[in-house]
Amino acid sequence: MPRGQKNIPKRKMEPDPIYGSTLLTKFINNVMEDGKKTIAQKNVYNALDIIKEKGMDPIATFEKALDTIAPKQEVRAKRVGGAAYQVPMEVRGVRKISLSIRWLLEAARKKPNSEFKTFSQKLAAEIISAVNNEGEAIRKRDSVHKMADANKAFAHFRF
């Protein structure tokens, strides 16, 4: 550990009240805007209800979607001898989850209002399309993988 840094423990998150999932709590906290958690919860639970109506298990579908979106590799800038190289690196567990949550929400928020009326419908549609390995979040993951693949020549700068 570099000098001057302390080892700060991770905060424990309470599982959400309906499904008992800490991952869902983390997701709801990311959906939340301006500290309005009840609105975020309502939107997420409505999206999970829409998934349930389609005959799928909501939590299993949600977790599978995040797992599908999660990137295996990404590029990181590394300075070597005055030049910055895009070095492909493996993505660690916590970062994988936070990236997949971010990309899923980004994709859901980008969906046009003409197709879907509410955010819950947009979110449910994006989760279902991610499970089927399609949609905007999957495209984002694929572009990150392509970038890492294209820069494999600089992999020896990893360490």
Distances (CA, A) of 126 to 9, 88, 92: 33, 27, 24
Please report, for the chain, the start and end positions of each structural domain, with discontinuous segments joined by +: 22-71+93-151
Instruction: Locate 131 and state its tokens.
Output: 């499970």
Spell out the CATH class of 22-71+93-151.
mainly alpha
Q: What's the pLDDT score for residue 153?
A: 83
Look at the alpha carbons of 78, 79, 81, 85 in this order and tell me if their dihedral is positive or negative.
positive
Q: What's the pLDDT score for residue 8?
A: 87
Q: Per DSSP, what are the bridge partners of residue 129? A: none
Q: What's the pLDDT score for residue 4?
A: 72
CA distance 53 to 47: 10
Positions of the chain with pLDDT under 50 = none
Q: What's the pLDDT score for residue 62?
A: 96
Q: What's the pLDDT score for residue 87?
A: 87
Q: State pLDDT tens for residues 49-89.
A: 999 999 999 999 999 999 999 999 999 988 888 888 888 99
